[in-house]
């Protein structure tokens, strides 16, 4: 399999954009948009099957309880979210439902948050896939891998990051929630940190966890990764 590089991590914008005013350079006003990335709650096949984009997968009884608990945790935030975006898949929508009720927000489907397209691997058991020769590449060199008849990890990462940037621009100086899936969230977090895509598998994103990113007009900031506890202390230091 040919070796290649993944998408380049986001280069810091450096100084804020400068505007000319009466012969002086004046820095533009900084903006800070916080995006709370939520992985959907547990389903009956979480951890055993690669579900991908196959329809019809719903939350388990445990997952329903996780989503309800997450809604309570989000209410601890000092800055309440003002928008809620969700992947089109059922398990993401069902996770978002109690959040929408608790936060009094209308869920908006955002296709950029969709799970990776696993192609012909969709629906296969992880125990079976792990015996394939390509599995080593998926784990150690994902930037070089494309799922058969599906998406590459590089394409997924750029798709998700592009969606988050659009949402950040749309909701400047606000906090929003985006319900997605494990691999897209891992890819976004590592992109924000400037970590090479080939190392993104070292990050764990648990069901119903929160990973918080702050988008600024300079560099992105990672506030937390895989948080499953209290959010009372969440904020920049």
Paired with 237 in beta bridges are none
Task: Give the whole-number percent of the chain exceeding pLDDT 90.
Answer: 81
Model confidence band, residue 1 (pLDDT cutoffs 50, 70, 90): very low
- Distance between CA atoms of residues 220 and 35, nearest Å: 11
Considering the chain, what percentage of its residues have pLDDT values greater than 70?
86
* DSSP 8-state assignment for residue 111: G
Confidence (pTM)? 0.87
Give domain status of residue 106, yes or no: yes
Task: Tell whether the model's pLDDT for residue 41 goes beyond 60.
Answer: yes
Whether residue 20 lies inside any domain: the answer is: no
Kindly state whether residue 6 falls inside one of the protein's structural domains: no
- Per-residue pLDDT tens digits for 177-218: 999 999 999 999 999 999 999 999 999 999 999 999 999 998
For residue 105, give its domain range.
33-227
pLDDT grade for 12, boundaries at 50, 70 and 90: very low
Residue whose structure tokens are 């400047």: 172
CA 1 to chain CA mean position, Å: 28
Element (H, E) at 232: none
Helix (H, G, I), strand (E, B) or coil at 56: coil
Three-state DSSP at 189 gives: helix
Number of domains composing the chain: 1
Q: What pLDDT does residue 231 have?
A: 77
Mean pLDDT of the chain: 90
Helix (H) or strand (E) holding 164: helix 153-170
20-24, 38-42, 141-145, 153-157: least confidently modelled range: 20-24
User: pLDDT by residue (tens digit) across 102-135?
Assistant: 999 999 999 999 999 999 999 999 999 999 999 9
CATH code for the domain in which residue 82 is found: 3.40.50.1240
């Amino acid at each position: 399999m040919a070796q290649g590089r993944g998408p380049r991590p986001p280069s810091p914008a450096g100084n804020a954009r400068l505007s000319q005013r009466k012969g002086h350079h004046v820095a533009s006003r900084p903006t800070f948009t916080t995006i709370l990335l939520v992985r959907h709650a547990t389903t009956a096949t979480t951890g055993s099957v690669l579900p991908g984009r196959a329809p019809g997968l719903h939350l388990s009884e445990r997952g329903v309880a996780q989503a309800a608990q997450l809604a309570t945790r989000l209410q601890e935030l000092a800055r309440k979210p003002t928008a809620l975006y969700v992947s089109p898949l059922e398990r993401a929508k069902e996770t978002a439902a109690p959040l929408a009720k608790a936060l009094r927000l209308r869920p908006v489907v955002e296709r950029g948050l969709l799970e990776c397209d696993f192609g012909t691997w969709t629906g296969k058991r992880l125990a079976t896939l792990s015996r394939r020769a390509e599995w080593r590449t998926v784990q150690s060199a994902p930037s070089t891998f494309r799922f058969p008849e599906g998406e590459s990890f590089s394409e997924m990462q750029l798709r998700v990051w592009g969606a988050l940037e659009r949402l950040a621009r749309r909701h400047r100086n606000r906090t929003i929630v985006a319900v997605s899936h494990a691999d897209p969230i891992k890819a976004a977090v590592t992109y924000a940190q400037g970590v090479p895509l080939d190392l993104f598998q070292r990050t764990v994103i648990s069901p119903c966890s929160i990973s918080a990113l702050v988008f600024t007009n300079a560099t992105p900031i990672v506030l937390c990764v895989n948080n499953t506890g209290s959010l009372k202390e969440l904020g920049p230091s």
